[in-house]
Each structure stands twice: as structure tokens, then as C-alpha cells.
């Protein structure tokens, strides 16, 4: 098998890259280790930055998003029982975010790829990337019990944190930056209309809580919990009780309860691998970086990576210049580190650390109060939340 760009992974990064390349007339071949049902059902991110939504529209993948997605013009911060809204359009010149689950983005892109795009092979496990330093890299993979090889001009490693692509970068050339947080998120999906029309980020002495949603009838909520927590140890009633405590306000707002359909614990970590390019291998999305979910940046960073890579590949084809390919890692990492900074800031702003001193607790509240009372501080948050530039 041979193609121009071999793409490992059919998550949002790999699928969007394939779509962008197809629209530009560049051949690609996508290998995905899981089956289609898994790709279209795995629960992940749900917040699309302004730039991400714009890219999906421009790629012809925004019709259902615009019909079913929920535009959000702000978020609410809660602390000490008080509510403070951050108005995105008023602070950013009109930018907003869209609530549209990653599962739905993947469904849209899979359908388009199968209908219009190049090959997309499910249950094809990538085993190794070989010859990344040469002009003819190869992806060795297993499909239907047989090993095969995909020969490429370029390889895009969009196969997530545990994939094989990053392993093809020699250890002597790699630098890893990471932080593990001493808490996680206990998350639930519930068949109940959201109790607020925008996301609510709550800082409480008992721990952080987040009120989010997947649709007008499905709520997504989270609680800060110790890292060793087993979701099975929490009854549905206990989860709702704790959410009610942490989200409580001084006014008459109330939390609506409903049947819990999913329950899981998500660890919190920050991770960056440098460089994001080795020879003709390019890392994108979780293969290169992880952010804690507090800043809603994971999916959006992946989009930024593949937009940058697609532009560089088009530039190479049209001009013969590898300038943009050569600067791929540097270009992406500038945006990545800004997202890492913002996600870290949001995480440390809202999560009381285990064993935190009263001094540290008061500093958290002071930081939140600064955002509540300063337009400049709110603007900084709004600009970062709605998205860093994709160019």
C-alpha cells in the first residue's frame, strides 16, 4: 500500500487532517486500531473554541454542529456562594464557544471520510513507524490477523498518548515535560436538562465542581476527588448530594437531578513532548501533549496541530518549499505552551490542593475575586478560553 500521508489514528485529529488534505487534493490513508463503533462512542471533550468551529465549517463538517451544537457566550465562576459571569463576546470582540461532543465531531468526520475521502481502515493496529528519517517512511500495521506495510511520503502520528508514533522519536532527541496532579475528576452523564444555560466552574472548600452539558437534555457534571477514587464506590445519590453542596449559591438557584447513565474517574496531568516532528514523522494531538480538562483545550489543541500540518503540506506541494514543515514543531509548541499555561492556571485556580494551607486557600479566593472585579483579568480568561489563534 502507498499514499502521500499516512495517518495513524481516527480520533478528531486524524480524521480532520484527512478531511483537510482531501479538500486540498492530497492523498491520505487513515489507520485506526479500534472499530467504528468505539471511535464514535468514546466520551471525551465537548467544548469547541471559536477557531475549531470555524475550521469544521470551512472543511464542510459543520452542518450538524451548527444545527445541534449549543453556542455559549460565557461561563460562570462560583466561589463563596457567589456567582460571577464571564461574558465572552463582550470581552473578545464577539468570540464564543460551542458545546458539541467529540463523539459527534468524530461521527461527522467518519461519515465524510467514508463517503468522500481516502481510505479509512478500522481495526488496523499500527505496530511501528519505520524510516522516519528517510524520504520513504513506513507504517507497519496488523489487520485481520495479517501484517502489512503502508508506505508514505509523510506520517502523521495522531494515535494518542499510548500510541506507537511518539516511540519512533529517538530518546536522545526527546524532551518530556510533565506534571501529575494529586486529584482527579469523578464525572457523570445524566439524563436531565442542564441546571444552567452555561458552564459553571465552582471552587469550594470541599473541592472543585463543574456543571456542563452534552445537549439540552443531557448533563455532564464533575467532582474533584482523590486520585485513587473508584467510581463504583460513589452512589448516584452521594454524587448528586456532593454536587449540590459544591455548586450551592446564596440565591434561589437549584441543581436538577436525573438518572445517571455513565460514571468514571479521569486522572489529571499535563504533558508535552518536544519536538513534535522527527524527519517525516509529525506528532499531533494527545500523541504530543496532554492538558488537564479544566481549560477545555485538548481537542482544540489537536485541531490547531492538524491545521498547521495541513497548511505546511499544501505549501510544500504548491511551492516545493519545506519551510512550514521545518517550522511545524516550533509553530505548534508556541500554541501548546499557552494552552498548557492556561489549563494549569485554571486547574490551580479552582481545585483546593490536598493539604493546602489557609494561606493558599485565601490566595485562590483572591485570584477568583480579581477575575470577578477586573475587566482586564476577565478579558485574559475569555481570550484564552475562546481560543488562541490558529495561524
Confidence of residue 282 (pLDDT cuts 50, 70, 90): very high
297 flagged as catalytic: yes
Query: Can you tell me the mean pLDDT for 223-238?
Result: 97
To the query of whether residue 293 is one of the catalytic residues in this protein, the response is: yes
Calculate the average pLDDT of the chain.
Answer: 96
* 385 is known as an active-site residue: yes
How far, rounded to the nearest angstrom, does the alpha carbon of residue 178 sit from its chain's CA centroid?
Answer: 17
- Examine the residue annotation and report whether 328 is marked as an active-site residue of this protein: no
Burial class (CB in 10 A: 0-12, 13-18, 19+), 35: exposed
Is 120 in the same domain as 242? Answer: no
Model confidence at 41, pLDDT cuts 50, 70, 90, reads: confident
How far is the C-alpha of 326 from the C-alpha of 210, rounded, in Å? 40
**Whether residues 120 and 152 fall in one domain:** yes
Q: Which of 100, 154, 181, 201 is catalytic?
A: 201
End-to-end alpha-carbon separation of the chain, Å?
Answer: 33
| Tally of domains in the chain | 2
Asked if the structure places residue 109 within a domain, the reply is yes
Query: Residues 196, 204, 297, 351: which is the catalytic one?
Result: 297
- Same domain for 188 and 159: no
The H or E element that residue 41 is part of is helix 36-41
Which residues are within 8 A (CB) of 44 and not within 5 positions of it... i.e. 6 or more apart? 101, 102, 103, 298, 299
21, 121: one domain: yes
Do 296 and 339 fall into the same domain?
Answer: yes
Distances (CA, A) of 312 to 6, 85, 177, 272, 330: 15, 39, 26, 22, 13
Per-residue model confidence as pLDDT tens digits over 326-347: 999 999 999 999 999 999 999 9
pLDDT at 388 over 90: no
Beta-bridged to residue 281, according to DSSP, are 155, 278
The confidence score (pLDDT) of residue 44 equals 73
Structural domain range at position 373 = 181-267+352-386
Do 382 and 361 fall into the same domain? yes
Q: Is the confidence at residue 162, as pLDDT, over 80?
A: yes
pLDDT classification of 290: cutoffs 50, 70, 90: very high
- Does the pLDDT of residue 43 top 90, yes or no? no
Q: Is the dihedral of CA 302, 303, 304, 305 positive or negative?
A: positive
Residue 33 lies in a domain: yes
Residue 85 lies in a domain: no
Same-domain pairing of 242 and 110: no
DSSP 206-252: T--EEEEEEETTEEEEEEEE-TT--GGGS-HHHHHHHHHHHH--SSS
What's the whole-number mean pLDDT along residues 245-265? 95
In which residue are the cell numbers 499555561 written?
341
What's residue 42's pLDDT? 80
Residue 318 has pLDDT above 90, yes or no: yes
- Name the E strands within the chain: 5-8, 28-31, 47-48, 70-72, 74-79, 82-87, 97-99, 120-121, 124-130, 138-143, 146-151, 154-157, 175-190, 199-203, 209-215, 218-225, 260-274, 277-278, 281-283, 289-290
Q: Could you report the per-residue pLDDT of 207-217, keeping only the tens digit for each?
A: 999 999 988 99
pLDDT band at 370 (very low <50, low <70, confident <90, very high): very high
**pLDDT in the model for residue 148:** 97
Q: Is 201 a catalytic residue?
A: yes
Choosing from 181, 222, 328, 385, the catalytic residue is 385
Is position 87 within any domain? no
The CA radius of gyration of the chain, in Å to the nearest whole number, is: 21
Q: What angle do CA 101, 296, 339 make, to 5 degrees?
A: 140
Q: What is the pLDDT of residue 51?
A: 97
Same-domain status, 67 and 150: yes
What is d(CA 285, CA 300) in angstroms, rounded to the nearest whole number? 9
Q: Would 89 be classed as within a structural domain?
A: no
- Per-residue pLDDT, averaged over 312-319, amounts to 98
Q: Residue 218: exposed, middle, or buried by beta-carbon count in 10 A (0-12, 13-18, 19+)?
A: middle
Q: Which of 194, 292, 293, 352 is catalytic?
A: 293
Q: Are 381 and 356 in the same domain?
A: yes
Q: Check which CATH number belongs to the domain holding 374 and give it.
A: 3.30.9.10
Q: For the domain that residue 27 is a member of, what is the CATH number?
A: 3.50.50.60
- In a domain, residue 163? The reply is yes
Residue 80 lies in a domain: no
Give per-residue pLDDT as tens, 73-127. 999 999 999 999 999 999 999 999 999 999 999 999 999 999 999 999 999 999 9
- 108 and 169: one domain? yes
pLDDT band at 250 (very low <50, low <70, confident <90, very high): very high
122 and 13 assigned to the same domain:
yes
Kindly state the cell numbers that stand for 287. 500523541
Contacts of 135 (CB under 8 A, 6+ apart): 153, 280
Asked if 66 and 57 count as a contact pair (C-beta separation under 8 A), the reply is yes
Same domain, 320 and 338: yes
In a domain, 92, yes or no: no
- The pLDDT, as a whole number, for residue 389 is 80
| Catalytic residue from among 72, 273, 278, 351 | 72
Amino acid at each position: 500500500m502507498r499514499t502521500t500521508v499516512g495517518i495513524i489514528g481516527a480520533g478528531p485529529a486524524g480524521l480532520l487532517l484527512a478531511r483537510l488534505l482531501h479538500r486540498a487534493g492530497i492523498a491520505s490513508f487513515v489507520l485506526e486500531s479500534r472499530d467504528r463503533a468505539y471511535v464514535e462512542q468514546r466520551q471525551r471533550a465537548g467544548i469547541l473554541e471559536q477557531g475549531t468551529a470555524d475550521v469544521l465549517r470551512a472543511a464542510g463538517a459543520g452542518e450538524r454542529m451548527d444545527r445541534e451544537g449549543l453556542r455559549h457566550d460565557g461561563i460562570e465562576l462560583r466561589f463563596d456562594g457567589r456567582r460571577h459571569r464571564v461574558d465572552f463576546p463582550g470581552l473578545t470582540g464577539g468570540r464564543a464557544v460551542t458545546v458539541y461532543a467529540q463523539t459527534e465531531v468524530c461521527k461527522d468526520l467518519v461519515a465524510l471520510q467514508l463517503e468522500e475521502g481516502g481510505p479509512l481502515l478500522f481495526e488496523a493496529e499500527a505496530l511501528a513507524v519505520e524510516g522516519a528519517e528517510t524520504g520513504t517512511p513506513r507504517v507497519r500495521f496488523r489487520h485481520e490477523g495479517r501484517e502489512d506495510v503502508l508506505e508514505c511520503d509523510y506520517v502523521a502520528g495522531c494515535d494518542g498518548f499510548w500510541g506507537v508514533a511518539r516511540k519512533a522519536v529517538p530518546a536522545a532527541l526527546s524532551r518530556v515535560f510533565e506534571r501529575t496532579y494529586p486529584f482527579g475528576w469523578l464525572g457523570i452523564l445524566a439524563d436531565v436538562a442542564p441546571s444552567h444555560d452555561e458552564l459553571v466552574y465552582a471552587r469550594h472548600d470541599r473541592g472543585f465542581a463543574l456543571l456542563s452539558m452534552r445537549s439540552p437534555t443531557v448533563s455532564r457534571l464533575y467532582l474533584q476527588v482523590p486520585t485513587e477514587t473508584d467510581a463504583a464506590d460513589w452512589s448516584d445519590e452521594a454524587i448528586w448530594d456532593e454536587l449540590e453542596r459544591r455548586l450551592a449559591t446564596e440565591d434561589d438557584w437549584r441543581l436538577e437531578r436525573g438518572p445517571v447513565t455513565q460514571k468514571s474517574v479521569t486522572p489529571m496531568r499535563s504533558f508535552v513532548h518536544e519536538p513534535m516532528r522527527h524527519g517525516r514523522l509529525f506528532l499531533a494531538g494527545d500523541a504530543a501533549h496532554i492538558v488537564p480538562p479544566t481549560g477545555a483545550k485538548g481537542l482544540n489543541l489537536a485541531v490547531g496541530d492538524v491545521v498547521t500540518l495541513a497548511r505546511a503540506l499544501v505549501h510544500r506541494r504548491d511551492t516545493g518549499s519545506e519551510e512550514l514543515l521545518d517550522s511545524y514543531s516550533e509553530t505548534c509548541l508556541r500554541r501548546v505552551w499557552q494552552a498548557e499555561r492556561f489549563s494549569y492556571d485554571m486547574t490551580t485556580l479552582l481545585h483546593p490542593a490536598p493539604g493546602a494551607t489557609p494561606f493558599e486557600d485565601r490566595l485562590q479566593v483572591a485570584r477568583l475575586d480579581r477575575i470577578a472585579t477586573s475587566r482586564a483579568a476577565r478579558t485574559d480568561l475569555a481570550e484564552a478560553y475562546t481560543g488562541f489563534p490558529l495561524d
